[in-house]
Structure 1
Amino acid sequence: MWRLIACIFLPFAAGYYLAYLFRTINTLIAGPLGSDLGLGAADIGLLTSIYFLVVMAGQIPIGMLLDRYGPRRVQSLLLAVAAAGAALFGLSTGFVALLIARAMIGLGSAAALMSGLKMIVLWFPRERLALINGFMIMLGSLGAVTATAPAEVLLDWISWRGLFAVVAAASALAAILIYLVAPERVDSPSGSTKPATLKTIYSDQRFWRIAPLSATYIGSAWALQSLWAAPWLCDIERLNRTSLVSELFVMATVLSLGALVLGVLATWVRSRGRNMEVLFAAVAALLIGAEIVLILHPPWPSLLPWCVVSVAGSATAVTYAIIGDYFPPQLVARANGGLNVLQFGWAFIVQYGTGLILERWPVEAGHHPLIAYQAAFGLNVLLQLAALAWFAVPRFQSRKAKGRTPAILQPACGWSSAHAPILASEAAILEADEHLEW
């Protein structure tokens, strides 16, 4: 087990750590970057969100490459691309060059989580997937912690350009480490005769029940925590730089711990024979509540709801375990990729769209007004509520159906009690079909 942790878990966790650092670092450098290069809110939103757009576009082809060539070769190659993108970002002097560099970083980070999850599925027991996924996401999300107070120290010392040079070198070292120490393993064919195609994933009803909620919920949490939390705290709470970095540090720490807690909870729920979908819906409802609090903006500090937003981004520990139950191992990477397409795509929409909405209102004394954030966050909450209803309605229908016996199975006049076992068997079959369809 220790060899698996040293050669598989930790190297891929390091790759995900760097991807999370890349994802969230613009929250810290948005101010210096904007002032150095004269970028507005929409420019910063596009520059940051292009990461999510490129990651989204790469999910399905990268998932297929992972299934075909294995995580070791794919992840090491892509991390080298991320290293090149980070180096270019640190050297760029114009918006277009920054955009290209950020896109390269997104491409290089696109397989970071999927490759780790694929290795976990291949090498670790299935009943431990949620817990190990939680550990993976917890260690990876330490990149978000690094992108706050620790990165602020480097930012003051070597500027954002030097910071990206350091991260580029770390990415290159991680690529070499994964290539040298990670083992290869080919998927063994499962007993299922179902072909391993994308059609298998996208024709699965269970996938399309969880996908809209997962996209609008996790994608929104990523978009808000990785960029718009800092401007909101500056514009609405009027925090100074020191207080801002401190609150971002707390949020990132909560994000990291939340991944572990959700992984443990998911394992406990599974061990008690309960559905992890219920846990996922509950956390989604908490996120919606936190966003509503931010929209209403009561007269007390907003750190708590922002911490809830951060924790929501770590719920991938639950969703990926759910997906792991839906599909056989040889399809897991592509199934996770299919889900990631929607999550990262929604993160791009929210991150860039929020910047566009904010610019509809004039800046007042260097700050965007509260009404602009309320409009952007409110639209997001409405779409999340619709996705939550879509996810929950089939469960209510299933429970209602279980509370009654279908009319066709009701005993007719003149039928003897000898038919009862047959009717009971048919009812059980229908109930099982209902559960599988859900």
Structure 2
Amino acid sequence: MQLGLILLCLAYVLSQFFRAFLAVLSGVLATDVGAGPDDLALASGMWFLAFAAMQLPVGWALDHIGPRRSAALLLLAGGGGGALVFALASSPVHITIAMLLIGVGCSPVLMASYYIFARQYPPTRFATLAALMLGVGSLGNLVASYPTALAVELVGWRMTLVGLAAISAAVAVGIWLTVRDPAPVVGEQKGSVLDLLRMPLLWAIFPIMLVSYAPVAAIRGLWIGPYFSDVHGLDTGQIGLVTLAMGAAMILGTFAYGPLDRILGTRKWLIWGGSMAVVVALIALILLPGAPVWVPITLMAVIGFFGASFPVLIAHGRAFVPPHLVGRGVTLLNFFGIGGVGLMQFASGRIHAALTQGTAAPDPTAPYLALFGFFAAALLLGCVIYLFSRDSMD
């Protein structure tokens, strides 16, 4: 099982990469296939919505056919196949289709790991193990920064995607050969997602799940590239370094969050405090539009670090889920987390388009200040609702 978990972690590295690499490719895709920021926002949002839409069937599959087949088959067909479609793209529509397929392929890998953790490890270790998997997997964020920019310069973006298609297929085959499904739950097995939706304890958690990951994923996955290009005039290599800084901060934040729930004796207030720090950083980006470039770079790193509460949020909700519904429980929570990114990415594309079209010389900062305000308002609302949740410690 150890080798299987390593390969699932490698698959999650790919998942993190695919949700973040468009920021680095924004320049070359605009030149080669005519894909502007709004087109890439649509493609990125499609990745997240496809990923989210798959969470409910993935949850059923984890509980009924196990993580091995669920992760291997989808990653092979969607991840490998989608990356190949991307490599052959000749229009923005092809990019969107490719990102949809890749989102389907990446949808089971993290939840397959969480399912194994929930079924085979003590509950008190779930948040730490979940954060460890997320933190190591977030190396994909680093690969999707400067290393990707370098690979594009050396071999071109199409050959880079062909290589990623081959890697995705190889990892999928490895998962099929090495992962072992946990033993079935003994006893009563009846239940569905509707049983989870009837639990009031989860109602105050769903809204924060919907908005907490969205600012981090949307900015790191797309808007950080156009923002530093349009507002600060950075080139592809420099943007790669900036995204590297934010990606590293996200990894450090994930590892920091992991054990803190046990150290502090609370999950609720740890998540709430970190989310409010992200709100403050987003507001600072709005209030300091003319600051030197190192200021927004630092604030992006702050957003990445404090916005890495995802595994603790999953642990908070998972503590209320009965054992026979663990697969559907963690995927339902993930549905809200990833689906929120997709919805907000679609909305962000419309906001950006509305403020860049129709004027002869649009203000380059205005669309991004509006985006930061949109993300801050949504997260603040989620934090207010989250105040009514019940804390959970295993």
Q: TM-score range by the shorter chain?
A: over 0.9
Provide runs of 4+ in structure 1 moved above 4 Å: 363-368
1:260 aligns with 2:255: yes
Deviation digits for residues 169-220 of structure 1 (CA, Å, limit 9, x no counterpart): 1111111111111112233236xx6942112211111211111012111123
Q: Report matched runs for 1:202-281 at 5 Å.
A: 202-269=197-264, 274-281=265-272
What SS is found at the alignment partner of 1:196? coil
AA aligned to 1:293 is A
Q: In the alignment, what sits opposite 1:123?
A: 120
Aligned to 2:19: 23
Aligned with 1:369 (options 332, 355, 364):
364
Q: Tell me which of 80, 84, 88 is aligned to 1:83.
A: 80
TM-score w.r.t. the length of structure 2 is 0.92
1:268-307 aligned at under 5 Å gives the runs 268-269=263-264, 274-297=265-288, 299-300=291-292, 301-307=295-301
Partner of 1:168: 165
Per the TM alignment, residue 9 of structure 1 is displaced from its structure 2 partner at its CA by: 2.3
Match for 1:246: what amino acid? L
- Supply the AA of the counterpart residue of 2:137: G
CA deviations over 1:122-156 (Å, ceiling 9, x no partner): 22222111111111001111001001111112111
Q: Note if 1:344 corresponds to 2:338.
A: yes
Q: Does 1:102 align with 2:99?
A: yes
Q: Aligned partners of 2:360 and 2:349: how far apart in 1?
A: 18
Give the match's secondary structure for 2:355.
coil
Counterpart-to-counterpart distance in 2, 1:315 and 1:196: 29
Q: Which whole-Å CA distance do the structure 2 matches of 1:140 and 1:19 have between them?
A: 8
Does the CA-based 8 Å contact 1:220-1:346 persist in structure 2? Answer: no
Mapped partners of 2:67, 2:10: distance in 1: 14
Structure 1 residues 240-288: Cα deviation after superposition (integer angstroms, max 9, x where no partner): 333221111111111112111110212323xxxx221111111111111
1:328 maps to 2:319: no
Shift of 1:366: 9.1
List gaps (5 residues or longer) in structure 2. none
The percent identity for this pair of structures is 26
CA distance in 2, matches of 1:319, 1:148: 26
Aligned Cα root-mean-square deviation (Å): 2.1
**Post-superposition offset of 1:376:** 2.4
> 1:156 maps to which residue?
153
In 2, distance between residues paired with 1:320 and 1:366?
45
Give, in whole Å, the separation in 2 of the partners of 1:19 and 1:219: 16
The count of residues paired between Structure 1 and Structure 2 equals 387
Q: What displacement does 1:393 show?
A: 4.2
| 1:354 Cα deviation from its structure 2 partner | 1.5
TM-score, normalised on structure 1?
A: 0.84
The secondary structure found in structure 1 opposite 2:319 is: helix
Residue 346 of structure 1 deviates from its aligned partner by: 1.6
Deviation at 1:45, TM superposition (A): 0.9
- For structure 1, which runs of at least 5 residues remain unmatched after alignment? 396-434
Residue 310 (str. 1) matches residue 304 (str. 2): yes
